[in-house]
A and B are shown apart, each in its own frame.
Chain A
C-alpha cells in the first residue's frame, strides 16, 4: 500500500499506539525496537483526546514479520493501551517540515513560485533566507526539498508522521502528495526517496 516503499530491503510500516502519559514509556518502547536492531524512521508523540493518554505514531523499517512481532510485544507493555499496525489500513497521514532556504533576491521569485505550487506557507523571511512550513506526505516534502536544494538548503527540520484512519469509505490515493485542488497531473513530480531522519 501507499508509502510502504521498500528501502534497504525492508518495508516501512506505520504503527499507531495509545500509551499512558508517564515518564519512561518511550524508553520501554524504543528498547523493543533497539533490541531487534531496527531504526525508528520517524516518531511523533503527543497528548491524545483522552486525558492521561498519549498517541505515538512510528514509522519503522524492518522485515514485515519482525515488525509485526515487535508490535505484538509492544502491546504486552503495561503502559501501552493499544497498538495498531495501520500500514495496510485506509489512512491519511501528514508530516510537517520547516525548511530554511538560501534566498538571495535573484532566487526569491523562483522559490516563491514553488511555494505557490506546493501551497506551502512562508513563515519567516530574511535578507538572505526564507523559511517555509510544509505539511503533507513524505513524498511531497521530499519533492519540495529536492526542488529547492539547488538554491541552498540551510536547515531542514522534519516531524514524525501523524496518521489516522479515514472517516470516509473512499479508498483514496491521497498520500498527502498534494492537498486539495492542487493535485493536477502536471504537478506530479518524480519521487525521490530521501533518507528520513533517525530517532
Chain B
C-alpha cells in the first residue's frame, strides 16, 4: 500500500521495515531533516558517535557481532568522507552495512557548495554499491535494494546519498514493492558437478586440511564446518578472519597460518595434499609467494563470489555457492574416514613447533596480558582488536571457544577499529562481555569514542597493550630497514588512567604479571566501561614470522 510521506519519514519507515533498531551517526546540516523526524520513531535508537569513522566502525562491529546490517548516518562533505575508512574496512572484510549520508540540495550539486563532496564518486571502490537518490519517490525502493545488496551474496557496505531537499520532499513509498535488480544474482546451491568433484578430491585425499575463512563466519556455518571436519577427520586451519569459526579447544583445531600465524598451521598447509578452502580469498598474508604456496596440494575453493576463484591461487576444484548450502550438499557425499597418520603428523607438528610459547620473564609482555584475559574470561568474551602486534598476540593467545567472537580488521588492516567496533558489538550484545584489545597507537586514533561508551553506559572493557611504541613498525624497521628507527616511539602518550577519569569511566593500571588476574577480574566486575592500561615491555618482536612475499621455507620461528 503506497504511503505519501516526506523523504525523512520514508527513510525511517524503510529502516524499521528492514528490522533496524540501532543507528550510529552524527548530524550535520545536510542530514538535519532526517534527524528532525527521529523523535517520531522511538524504535530507531540513535547512538551519537564522536567521529564518523567511529560511527562506521561501530556499525561494522554491530553487524559482525549480530549478523544483521549495521547502519551509519553522516552529513555531507567531511561527514561523509570521514566514513570512508569505515566503509573500506567493511568492504575488505565483506561486512553488511548501509550508510546514509546527507548531500547538499539538488540545485547545489556540482557547484562546490558548502560541505559538498561527491561521495558516491569517492566511495565507488569501497562500497559494494552506492546510490545518489534524486527523488523522494525513489527513496524507499532504494533503501530496500541497498539492504538486499548489503546482506545477500557476498555481503558488503552500501552507501545512499540523499540531498537535503529530498529528505524534505513528499514522496510515494510502497513498503511492499519487490526489489528488482536484473544485474544482481545471489548464489545459493553450487552446481552438483562442482560438489561431486570436490567430494571426490576429499575422499581421495590422504593429507587434507580445511582452510576456514570469513565466509564460514559470515554464512554462520559453524555447525556444518564442525560436522564435515569430524566426519572425515580433517584438521581445521582458520584464516585470521576465520578465527572463532571453529572451537580452538577442539582436537582438530590447527591454528591460523601465514605471516604471524602458528608455524604448525603454515606447515600443515605446506605439507597437505589437499586444501579445502571455505570462504577465504587466499589473501597474501596467508599465501606469501604464490608460486611456492602449498605446491604439493590440490585445492578446492568454495566461495560465493566467482571473482575470487583463481584470483591468486589456481584451484583444481572451484565450487561457487553459498557456503552453508555447499556444506549441506557436500557433507553427505564425503566418506567417514580417519586420517590417522596425517593427524598424528599434525599433532607432531604442533608439538615440535609450539609457536605459542609465553616468554619466561618477570617483565610484563603482551602475551602475558592476552593469556590472562583468555584464562580469566574463559574464552567467553567478544574480542575486538586494532592492527599490529597486539592484534596478532590476541589472535595467537586468546583461546576462542564461542562462534563469531572475534572482530578484527583483517583485509584493510585499520588501526583505530578497536575502540568503536567494541561499542557496536556491545550495543548488539548487551548481555555479553566485550573486551577490546588495543595498542596504544590505534587506541589514540579513535579514543574520542570513549565518550560514546560512557554516554550510553556501554560496559566495554579496553585493554591497552601500552608500550609507547608502534610495535609492528618498530619490528619492521628492525628487520627490514637496518634498525633505522623513525617515527616509531610515542614519547608523550597520555596517562590512560587519568584519561579514563576524564571521561568519567574506570581506569586501572597494571605493570606486573601478578596484578593481571585481579585487574581483569575487577574490570569484568565493574558495571560500566573500563580502561586497563597494561604497561608492557617497550620492545618485543612478534613471532612466528614469514616475511611478506616469502614462503614457509623462510619462516622465522623464534630466535630467542
Q: Taking beta carbons and an 8 Å cutoff, which residues of A are in contact with B?
A: 19-20, 24, 27-28, 31, 35, 53, 65, 69, 72-73, 75-82
Task: List 8 tightest A-B contacts by C-beta distance, closest first.
Answer: A72-B307, A81-B183, A78-B129, A73-B307, A78-B184, A80-B183, A81-B182, A76-B307
Q: Of A65, A73, A79, which contacts B183 at CB under 8 A?
A: A79
Name the distance in Å between B283's Cβ and chain A's nearest Cβ. Answer: 16
**Cβ–Cβ < 8 Å partners of B121 in chain A:** 27
**Cβ–Cβ < 8 Å partners of A27 in chain B:** 121, 124
Q: Is the CB of B182 within 8 A of A75?
A: no
In the assembly, what is the distance between CA of A65 and CA of B290, in Å? 15
**Cβ–Cβ < 8 Å partners of B310 in chain A:** 65, 69
Name the distance in Å between B198's Cβ and chain A's nearest Cβ. Answer: 20
Q: Which residue of A is nearest B305, CB measured?
A: A76
Q: Is the CB of A19 within 8 A of B183?
A: yes
In the assembly, what is the distance between CA of A31 and CA of B305, in Å? 19
Answer yes or no: B465 CB below 8 A from chain A CBs: no
Q: Which residue of B is nearest A74, CB measured?
A: B307
**Cβ–Cβ < 8 Å partners of A69 in chain B:** 307, 310-311
Q: Of A31, A79, A80, which contacts B125 at CB under 8 A?
A: A31
Name the distance in Å between B109's Cβ and chain A's nearest Cβ. Answer: 12
Q: Is the CB of B306 within 8 A of A75?
A: yes
Answer yes or no: B181 CB below 8 A from chain A CBs: yes
CB interface residues, B 115-134, toward A, < 8 Å: 120-121, 124-125, 128-129, 132
**Cβ–Cβ < 8 Å partners of B311 in chain A:** 69
**Cβ–Cβ < 8 Å partners of B125 in chain A:** 31, 35
Name the distance in Å between A59's Cβ and chain B's nearest Cβ. Answer: 21
* Interface contact tally, CB-CB below 8 A: 37
Interface centre among B125, B129, B183, B184 (most CB of A within 10 A): B183
In the assembly, what is the distance between CA of A77 and CA of B130, in Å? 11
In the assembly, what is the distance between CA of A65 and CA of B182, in Å? 27
Provide a sorted-by-A list of 15 A–B residue pairs whose CB atoms are within 8 angstroms. A20-B182, A24-B132, A27-B121, A27-B124, A35-B125, A53-B182, A72-B306, A72-B307, A75-B307, A77-B183, A78-B181, A78-B184, A80-B183, A81-B182, A81-B183
Q: Is the CB of B183 within 8 A of A28?
A: no
Q: Is the CB of B306 within 8 A of A20?
A: no
Known contacts A78-B183, A78-B184; can you find 18 more A-B pairs with CB under 8 A?
A: A20-B183, A24-B132, A27-B124, A31-B124, A31-B125, A69-B311, A72-B309, A75-B306, A75-B307, A76-B305, A77-B129, A77-B183, A78-B149, A78-B181, A79-B183, A80-B183, A81-B183, A82-B183
Interface centre among B121, B128, B181, B182 (most CB of A within 10 A): B182
Name the distance in Å between B194's Cβ and chain A's nearest Cβ. Answer: 16
Contact string against A for B residues 242-270, beta-carbon threshold 8 Å, 1 for contact and 0 otherwise: 00000000000000000000000000000
Interface centre among B125, B306, B307, B311 (most CB of A within 10 A): B307
In the assembly, what is the distance between CA of A78 and CA of B306, in Å? 14
Contact string against A for B residues 115-159, beta-carbon threshold 8 Å, 1 for contact and 0 otherwise: 000001100110011001000000000000000010000000000
Name the distance in Å between A198's Cβ and chain B's nearest Cβ. Answer: 21
**Cβ–Cβ < 8 Å partners of A77 in chain B:** 129, 183
**Cβ–Cβ < 8 Å partners of A20 in chain B:** 182-183
A72-B307, A76-B307 known; A28+B182 contact, CB < 8 A = no
Q: How many residues of B contact A (CB 8 A)?
A: 18
In the assembly, what is the distance between CA of A72 and CA of B305, in Å? 9
A78-B129, A79-B183, A81-B182 known; A28+B124 contact, CB < 8 A = yes
Name the distance in Å between B554's Cβ and chain A's nearest Cβ. Answer: 26
**Cβ–Cβ < 8 Å partners of B309 in chain A:** 72
Contact string against A for B residues 274-311, beta-carbon threshold 8 Å, 1 for contact and 0 otherwise: 00000000000000000000000000000001110111
Q: Which residue of A is nearest B311, CB measured?
A: A69
Q: Is the CB of A24 within 8 A of B182?
A: no
Name the distance in Å between A178's Cβ and chain B's nearest Cβ. Answer: 38
In the assembly, what is the distance between CA of A53 and CA of B183, in Å? 10
Contact string against A for B residues 49-87, beta-carbon threshold 8 Å, 1 for contact and 0 otherwise: 000000000000000000000000000000000000000
**Cβ–Cβ < 8 Å partners of B306 in chain A:** 72, 75
In the assembly, what is the distance between CA of A76 and CA of B132, in Å? 20
**Cβ–Cβ < 8 Å partners of B149 in chain A:** 78
In the assembly, what is the distance between CA of A153 and CA of B228, in Å? 69
In the assembly, what is the distance between CA of A35 and CA of B126, in Å? 12
Name the distance in Å between A65's Cβ and chain B's nearest Cβ. Answer: 8
Name the distance in Å between A17's Cβ and chain B's nearest Cβ. Answer: 10
**Cβ–Cβ < 8 Å partners of B181 in chain A:** 78
Name the distance in Å between A45's Cβ and chain B's nearest Cβ. Answer: 16
**Cβ–Cβ < 8 Å partners of A82 in chain B:** 183
In the assembly, what is the distance between CA of A72 and CA of B307, in Å? 5
In the assembly, what is the distance between CA of A69 and CA of B307, in Å? 6
**Cβ–Cβ < 8 Å partners of B128 in chain A:** 78
Name the distance in Å between B166's Cβ and chain A's nearest Cβ. Answer: 16
Name the distance in Å between A83's Cβ and chain B's nearest Cβ. Answer: 10
In the assembly, what is the distance between CA of A81 and CA of B185, in Å? 9
In the assembly, what is the distance between CA of A69 and CA of B129, in Å? 19
Name the distance in Å between B118's Cβ and chain A's nearest Cβ. Answer: 10
Name the distance in Å between A34's Cβ and chain B's nearest Cβ. Answer: 9
**Cβ–Cβ < 8 Å partners of A75 in chain B:** 306-307
Name the distance in Å between B208's Cβ and chain A's nearest Cβ. Answer: 27
Q: Which residue of B is nearest A78, CB measured?
A: B129
Name the distance in Å between B77's Cβ and chain A's nearest Cβ. Answer: 19
Name the distance in Å between B492's Cβ and chain A's nearest Cβ. Answer: 39
**Cβ–Cβ < 8 Å partners of A65 in chain B:** 310
Q: Which residue of B is nearest A19, CB measured?
A: B183
In the assembly, what is the distance between CA of A76 and CA of B181, in Å? 12
Name the distance in Å between B284's Cβ and chain A's nearest Cβ. Answer: 15
In the assembly, what is the distance between CA of A73 and CA of B125, in Å? 12
Q: Which residue of B is nearest A53, CB measured?
A: B182
Q: Which residue of A is nearest B120, CB measured?
A: A24
Interface centre among A53, A78, A79, A81 (most CB of B within 10 A): A78
Q: Which residue of A is nearest B134, CB measured?
A: A23
Q: Which residue of A is nearest B307, CB measured?
A: A72
Name the distance in Å between A99's Cβ and chain B's nearest Cβ. Answer: 36
**Cβ–Cβ < 8 Å partners of B120 in chain A:** 24
**Cβ–Cβ < 8 Å partners of A28 in chain B:** 124
